């Protein structure tokens, strides 16, 4: 199940009438949206949307039937158990991508409209504040950093200095490989804001 499906299922299950719908589907051989709405004292559009969500998730099946010339759907419960199972494997960076990125040379961008705040101990950056827009449209974005990210950025070369590879900065900051994913994440964020510039 991907995140969009999980979000839809979570939204369905969070409704205070969800259990009532499942009880009807479990009791009746099949049921229409209007019948379910009447039984649960809901608007028919609410019932229709809920049943369609269950159908799109594979939890309910539907059959088109006719009453006179007007077609409508009757819904049947297709499962006896609903599981919320999300595969997070795709979120983890691949080793080859990390190895390639580690060689990229980076430094702070000139005139980037960002402020780096040093921690009280003065050995890492605690947050970065970035401004965008002009005049009344000016907006401030504050990004709080993990200690590992802060130590990395503490050693980020200034705009006038020679860029260093990510690997070199990690070594200077005394960080180990376990923190590489979060370091690459904050680099991506700051590159998007134009605070860091990189080259292969």
Q: Can you give the residue ranges of every domain in the chain?
A: 3-77, 93-199
Residue 95 has pLDDT above 90, yes or no: no
Average pLDDT of every residue of the chain: 90
**93-199: CATH architecture:** Alpha-Beta Complex (3.90)
Q: What local confidence, expressed as pLDDT, does residue 20 receive? A: 95
Pick 175 or 2 by higher pLDDT.
175
Q: What local confidence, expressed as pLDDT, does residue 118 receive? A: 93
- Element spanning 127, H or E: strand 125-132
pLDDT tens digits for range 185-197? 999 999 999 999 9
Q: What local confidence, expressed as pLDDT, does residue 53 receive? A: 96
In terms of phi and psi (left: phi > 0; alpha: psi -120 to 50; beta: otherwise), the region of 41 is left
pLDDT tens digits for range 54-93? 999 999 999 999 877 789 999 999 999 998 888 887 777 6
Does the domain spanning 3-77 belong to CATH 1.10.10.10? yes
Q: What local confidence, expressed as pLDDT, does residue 132 receive? A: 83
Sorted by sequence, the CB contacts under 8 Å of residue 50 that are 6+ apart come out as: 12, 15, 17, 18, 21
How does DSSP assign 12-64, residue by residue?
A: HHHSTTHHHHHHHHHHSS-EEHHHHHHHHT--HHHHHHHHHHHHHTTSEEEEE
DSSP symbol at 122:
S
Q: Which strands make up the sheet holding 196-199, listed edge to edge? A: 164-165, 105-108, 196-199
State the Cα–Cα distance between residues 15 and 17, nearest whole angstrom.
5
Residue 94 has pLDDT above 70, yes or no: no
Helix (H, G, I), strand (E, B) or coil at 179: helix
State the Cα–Cα distance between residues 52 and 55, nearest whole angstrom.
5
Helix 44-56 vs helix 18-27: angle between axes, to the nearest 10 degrees?
Answer: 70
Q: What is the average pLDDT across 133-156?
A: 90
Q: What local confidence, expressed as pLDDT, does residue 68 receive? A: 75
When pLDDT is cut at 50, 70 and 90, the band that residue 2 belongs to is confident
Q: What local confidence, expressed as pLDDT, does residue 93 receive? A: 66
pLDDT tens digits for range 117-133? 998 888 899 999 998 87
C-alpha count within 13 angstroms, C-beta hemisphere, residue 33: 21
Angle at 189 between CA 116 and CA 3, to 5 degrees: 140
Residue 52 has pLDDT above 80, yes or no: yes
Q: What is the average pLDDT across 170-178?
A: 91
Rounded to two decimals, the pTM is: 0.61
Gyration radius (Cα) of the chain, Å: 27
């Amino acid at each position: 199940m991907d995140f969009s499906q999980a979000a839809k299922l979570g939204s369905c299950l969070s409704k205070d009438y969800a259990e009532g719908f499942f009880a009807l589907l479990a009791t009746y051989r099949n049921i229409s949206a209007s019948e379910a709405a009447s039984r649960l004292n809901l608007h028919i559009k609410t019932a229709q949307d809920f049943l369609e969500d269950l159908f799109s998730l594979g939890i309910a099946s539907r059959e088109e039937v006719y009453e006179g010339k007007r077609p409508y759907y009757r819904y049947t419960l297709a499962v006896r158990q609903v599981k919320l199972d999300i595969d997070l494997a795709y979120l983890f960076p691949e080793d080859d991508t990390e190895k390639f990125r580690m060689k990229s040379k980076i430094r702070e961008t000139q005139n980037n409209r960002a402020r780096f705040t040093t921690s009280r101990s003065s050995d890492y950056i605690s947050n970065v504040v970035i401004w965008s827009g002009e005049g009344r449209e000016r907006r401030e974005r504050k990004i709080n950093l993990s200690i590992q990210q802060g130590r990395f950025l503490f050693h980020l070369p200034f705009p006038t200095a020679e860029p260093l590879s990510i690997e070199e900065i990690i070594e200077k900051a005394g960080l180990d490989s376990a923190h590489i994913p979060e370091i690459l994440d904050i680099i991506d964020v700051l590159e998007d804001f134009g605070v860091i510039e990189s080259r292969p």
